[in-house]
Amino acid sequence: MNVEVRYYSKSGNTKKIANAIAKQVGISAKSIHEPLQGEVDILFLGTGIYAFDIDPELKEYISTLNPTSIKMVVVFSTAAIVKSAYEKTKKYLQAQGLNVSEKEYHCPGHYMILRTGRPNSDDIKKAEQFAKSIINSL
């Protein structure tokens, strides 16, 4: 099974979660600036929310994804204010013709004075458990 983890992170919050997911799966997390190679069974795709939307750079990345070479995308996210990036990310992924898992992982992210210390060790453990549950469900 080919599993990949890609993320877009401005502050490092989403990168922390991406690394936790990748560690659990036994691979390395990579930024969206590193293209996918070959067929992918599961793409864990992570983002934060910036000005109540996903970043235009992530939208551009999604537009380059080939739906015939990716079986399923699993969304994970961090944000200081909103509860999840799932719906916004899912909208762009589905518009590209990609299959999006109904399961997602989200945790608060630190921004300025909000959510200090997040993601924390508990968030990291939960991200690892989430990744394990996705892989075990296949």
What pLDDT is stored for residue 77 in this prediction? 96
Q: Cα separation of 74 and 115, whole Å?
A: 24
- Give this prediction's pTM: 0.94
Q: For the segment 14-39, what is each residue's pLDDT rounded down to a tens digit?
A: 999 999 999 999 999 999 999 999 99
Q: What is the CATH number of domain 3-129?
A: 3.40.50.360
> What pLDDT shows up at residue 94?
98
Q: Which residues contact 110 (CB under 8 A, 6 or more apart)?
A: 11, 13, 80, 116, 117, 118, 119
What is the C-alpha to C-alpha distance for residues 11 and 55, in angstroms, rounded to an integer? 13
- Closest to 109 (Cα-Cα) out of 9, 31, 21: 9
For 13, phi then psi, to 5°, come to -65, -50
46 touches 17 (CB < 8 A) = yes
Distance CA 32, CA 124 (A): 21
Domain boundaries, the chain: 3-129
What is the model's pLDDT at position 30?
98
pLDDT tens figures, 36-47: 999 999 999 999
pLDDT in tens, 47-71: 998 878 899 999 999 999 999 999 9
pLDDT in tens, 74-132: 999 998 777 889 999 999 999 999 999 999 999 988 777 777 888 999 999 999 999 99
